[in-house]
Amino acid sequence: MQSLMKVVLAPRTGSATESERRKKKKEDVLLERSLSSSTRYPSMPRYPLSPLHGEVDVSEIRKANLKVTGMECAACAGSIEKAVKRLPGIEEATVSVLQNRAQVVYRPAFVQEESIREAIEDAGFEAEAIVDDAGQRSGSISRFRIKGMTCTSCSNSIESSLKKLDGVQKAVVALATEECEVRHDAGVISHVQLAAAIDDLGYEAELLIAGEETNRIRLQLEGVTAAADFQLVKEMLVALSGVTSVDLDFSNAMVTVSYEPDRAGPRTFIETIEQAGVFTAKLEAPRGRGSHDRGLEIQHHKKYFLWSLVFTVPVFFLSMVFMYIPGIMEGLEHGRLNGLSIGALLRWILATPVQFVIGRRFYVGAYKALRRGSSNMDVLIAMGTNAAYFYSVYIVLRAATSPTFKGTDFFETSAMLISFIILGKYLEVMAKGKTSEAVAKLMDLAPDKATLLTLDEEGDVAGEREIGAELIQRRDIIKVVPGSKVPTDGVVVWGQSFVNESMITGEARPVPKKLGDKVIGGTMNDHGVIHIRATHVGAETALAQIVRLVEAAQMGKAPVQKYADRISTYFVPAVVVAAFVTWLAWYVGGKARSYPKSWIPAAMDEFELALQFGISVLVIACPCALGLATPTAIMVATGKGATQGILIKGGQALEAAHKVKTVVFDKTGTLTIGKPIVVHTKLLTNIPLHVFYDTIAAAEVNSEHPLGKAIVAYSRKISGEHSSHGQQQHEVRDFEAIPGQGVRAVVDGKATLVGNMRLMKEHGIHISEEAEEHLRDVETLARTGVMVAIERELVGVVSIADPVKPEAARVISILKSMGVRSMMVTGDNWGTAVAIARELGIERPCVHAESLPEDKARIVEEMQAAGTSVAMVGDGINDSPALVAADVGMAIGAGTDIAIEAADIVLMKSNLEDVITGIDLSRKSFFRIWLNYVWALGYNVLGIPIAAGALFPSTGFRLPPWVAGAAMAASSVSVVCSSLWLKRYKRPKVVEEIDTSVQR
């Protein structure tokens, strides 16, 4: 049997004084009143006034996550919990010894996070706030948009340069999104210095997000002209409660405000500034993210391509068409200056702006790359076009100075080459914009406007007004009408309705919402009017966190990408060498008459033929295709997963999922519904039923474990049936949770044990033959038997059933057909575990029962040591070590926050069939990635020899440089389009069938 009380979920001790109980009861009454609507004015609901309105909001609940060091055993965790729970306003305190973490749910009206931290330190341990998923105090995270990158060589050089800077902990550059994320110590290096470092490398960096700007906003001021005006604005803002600092930017008429979100917000600042009646203020326009700012880039490339056509099309006709039309040909050859014709002069004039104005970006990119000792695609293009252009200039100048000189210019080669490459970049940017559409669609879910309710001094609704959704502050009361979107995360404080959450969770059925229920920003209110109290705003909302998670996943690099990065390091130098060798071989071969003179076109000589082959080799090679093969596929796959309710935390998780051969399932809350109920009671002594349950419920009253909650709930039901007795108050002391066994405590002076067989045996409790036989019968029925001993005597057995999820058996069967073995690891007893495994079709050797949290992690590690790639699926805090240890950790979305943070993939709908979808999506994605690599590498392996003239001796086929350039541009576009094919991904039909059957 799983531990009734996990070490990380130890309940509140029972040693509270009567005054503390009265205080807690008073808080509960205040909360109940705060959530009740007015009975006097049904149309005017009443709410407790928030601190922003001058009164403390006792109903607000917050969660603090802290890293705790110095713990050695369960006793340490228990002492920390006791120390924290002595503080007023503590709702729940959970401590994980294995993860060195504490999670505390508290009411900020009575206690602050700093007081919690101090209480832990007073208990003899060290504590600090956790600010990142790894549980470590990290530096700031700044994100930049980087312009000017062309291939993985660029992204790799930026990464390596940033990592060398003092204060930079981590730097990731994503070529596909053209973004850079840097984790750094803001005290050592700021985001301004990072941007300058990127600019020094020859790229343009635009700040998107600065980590040190948490709870900091920038306001654009209007009407502020003099220094005195700025000072007045600063004084007005500094005087506000909750404002920590105000910085003025005179040159841009901006003001930056740092604040405590619980006490102030952007709407308060704007209203305060505008109260003077002279000045106005508005939030700084948000910087572009995802595909939202692709429009300008697309227009930029389109404009350059159209201008290149203006010059290139005439060059093409002058070189390829008019020279073969009688009459026109003579006109172009007429009026020679020595050997220089009008046609050649026109081609020179038209090709020059294409080469130096439209093609300037290639010169700039090549210069910057060479300056830092690297090479990229710009180097290849610049070398190829320069060779064609300047050789043509040489031909023109020789013709102008010699009446007998005859030569062929290649102005059309350089002009058409640049035009086709720009066309390729234009198509590539459009295609890349589509890869991040998922993020854009998620961002668009949030509405622009919200209806804010204003309250009078009594807490009644006095009026309403429309505000921008970005101006919502914590504890605001927002009205949501039918057919409109919920503007932010909150709690329903009045009304009831059905909310469609499919856009966030993927759950198709509308979810009923009533008083006290949570709502998610971006979801659609289908029916009734509801009023919600904002609990999370701005970057704190679930939607914003999902967007950040998807963006972070798209920024991450899959391990498979290291192959492309390694190849790109040597790619460009190798191509340059290959191009030179090609030119030299054809030129020397021609001079040495190694091939017939008839192979040389009439208008060329050996040098010109060799030059064309060399240029073709330079421009057909494409490192971009290699660099885009992995990140574009990951972008599309993670975005598609998010729309399916599956959050994949990066390329590494996506890659690992397709290798999974074994899936380890937790039982309670994962394979089972997680809401167990008491189905039978076996009393072994002469004790009244309600007394029996009153006693064990007293020990379990604050338990967060599902079995403990089931016992407490059933006890309340029994007390209701014996209402004449009432539910007595019991004195509980010396409480201890024993992981994997149960709990023990002294209830009303009597030693009480509630747990499994192991707990009883370790405490010397005699187990009668009748009790053992009853336990066997209970376990045969896939139920959990909870044994109760009072004063060292076994007094009864409680049978608890946790129904198996209807889709569980089908999921296990489908995984087996996919070649994936399923295992079950649980803290429950062996009998129940084996019975449930038999029902689900899991073989007996694949069952591990009575496992502690560390046992689960050890089992996963043992399978990995045997060479098996393992995925762990769980929902509880005690699953977190195994989730971290597994190759892929999958957290059920309805599970605990710690489990979700520890996982690599979050199944938001909490449906088991999404395990199948996650693995299938990973397999499809990596098939697409390898297909991209095969195409990109195969393209270069085949294209370079053809461009070098491998087919010319046998077939006479020669690839002109401008055709080679067009083919090079097409390779990048084809790889991106291949990745975009993942947008068509659909869940396996068997998963759809499971969903349909479950809904029925």
| Strands 847-848, 821-825: pairing kind | parallel
254-259 β-sheet, strand order: 243-249, 254-259, 216-222, 280-283
In 3D, which of 150, 288, 980 has the Cα closest to residue 635?
Answer: 980
What's the pLDDT at 588? 92
Domain shared by 791 and 851, yes or no: no
Collapsed DSSP state (helix, strand, coil) of residue 312: helix
| Length, in residues, of the chain | 1000
The sign of the dihedral angle between the CA atoms of 975, 981, 983, 988 is: negative
Residues in contact with 445: Cβ distance below 8 Å, sequence separation at least 6, in sequence order = 485, 503, 504, 522, 543
| Strands 662-666, 870-874: pairing kind | parallel
d(C-alpha 718, C-alpha 29), whole Å: 24
| Strands 62-69, 477-480: pairing kind | unpaired
The dihedral formed by the CA atoms of 361, 363, 365 and 370, expressed in degrees to the nearest 10: 180
Domain shared by 278 and 311, yes or no: no
CATH of the domain at 101: 3.30.70.100
What's the pLDDT at 932? 87
User: Which residues does the chain have with pLDDT short of 50?
Assistant: 1-58, 132-138, 212, 288-292, 722-727
Collapsed DSSP state (helix, strand, coil) of residue 812: helix
User: Burial level of 496, CB count in 10 A (0-12/13-18/19+)?
Assistant: middle
Cβ atoms 996, 653 nearer than 8 A: no
- Does residue 175 lie in a domain region? yes
Q: How many domains does the chain divide into? A: 8
- Does residue 711 lie in a domain region? yes
- For residue 627, the one-letter residue type is G
d(C-alpha 159, C-alpha 583), whole Å: 35
Q: Which residue, 129, 159, 187, sits at the end of a domain?
A: 129
Supply the pTM of this predicted model: 0.65
* Count of other CB atoms within 10 angstroms of residue 179: 22
Domain shared by 794 and 867, yes or no: no
What's the pLDDT at 901? 67
Residues in contact with 487: Cβ distance below 8 Å, sequence separation at least 6, in sequence order = 446, 447, 449, 450, 469, 472, 478, 480, 521
- Does residue 997 lie in a domain region? no
Q: Which residue, 900, 920, 940, sits at the end of a domain?
A: 920
- Does residue 575 lie in a domain region? yes
Q: Which residue, 283, 304, 336, sits at the end of a domain?
A: 283
d(C-alpha 426, C-alpha 937), whole Å: 22
d(C-alpha 453, C-alpha 353), whole Å: 61
Cβ atoms 562, 538 nearer than 8 A: no
What's the pLDDT at 819? 92
* Residue 679 DSSP code: E
CATH of the domain at 775: 3.40.1110.10
Cβ atoms 309, 372 nearer than 8 A: no
Domain shared by 199 and 69, yes or no: no
Q: Which residues span the domain enclosing 100?
A: 62-129
What's the pLDDT at 690? 84
Domain shared by 649 and 618, yes or no: no
Cβ atoms 383, 576 nearer than 8 A: yes
**SS3 assignment for 314-337:** HHHHHHHHHHHCCCHHHHHHCCCE
- Does residue 164 lie in a domain region? yes
- Does residue 3 lie in a domain region? no
- Does residue 553 lie in a domain region? no
Q: In the chain, what is the straight-line distance between the N-terminal and C-terminal CA atoms, in Å?
A: 32
- Does residue 24 lie in a domain region? no
Domain shared by 887 and 930, yes or no: no
User: Burial level of 894, CB count in 10 A (0-12/13-18/19+)?
Assistant: middle
The sign of the dihedral angle between the CA atoms of 186, 188, 194, 196 is: positive
Domain shared by 510 and 606, yes or no: no
Instruction: List pLDDT tens digits, range 208-230.
Output: 776 545 567 788 888 887 888 88
Mark out the alpha helices in 257-376 (DSSP H runs). 266-274, 294-316, 328-333, 342-353, 360-371
Residues in contact with 971: Cβ distance below 8 Å, sequence separation at least 6, in sequence order = 622, 624, 625, 935, 936, 939, 943
CATH of the domain at 664: 3.40.50.1000
* Count of other CB atoms within 10 angstroms of residue 360: 12
Domain shared by 230 and 206, yes or no: no
Domain shared by 416 and 318, yes or no: yes
- For residue 153, the one-letter residue type is S
Domain shared by 436 and 336, yes or no: yes
Give the phi and the psi of residue 335 in degrees, each rounded to 5: 70, 45
In 3D, which of 62, 47, 40 has the Cα closest to residue 477?
Answer: 47
Domain shared by 822 and 915, yes or no: yes
Domain shared by 692 and 772, yes or no: yes
Residues in contact with 362: Cβ distance below 8 Å, sequence separation at least 6, in sequence order = 378, 381, 382, 385, 418, 421
What are the structure tokens assigned to 573, written together? 């130098």
CATH of the domain at 487: 2.70.150.10
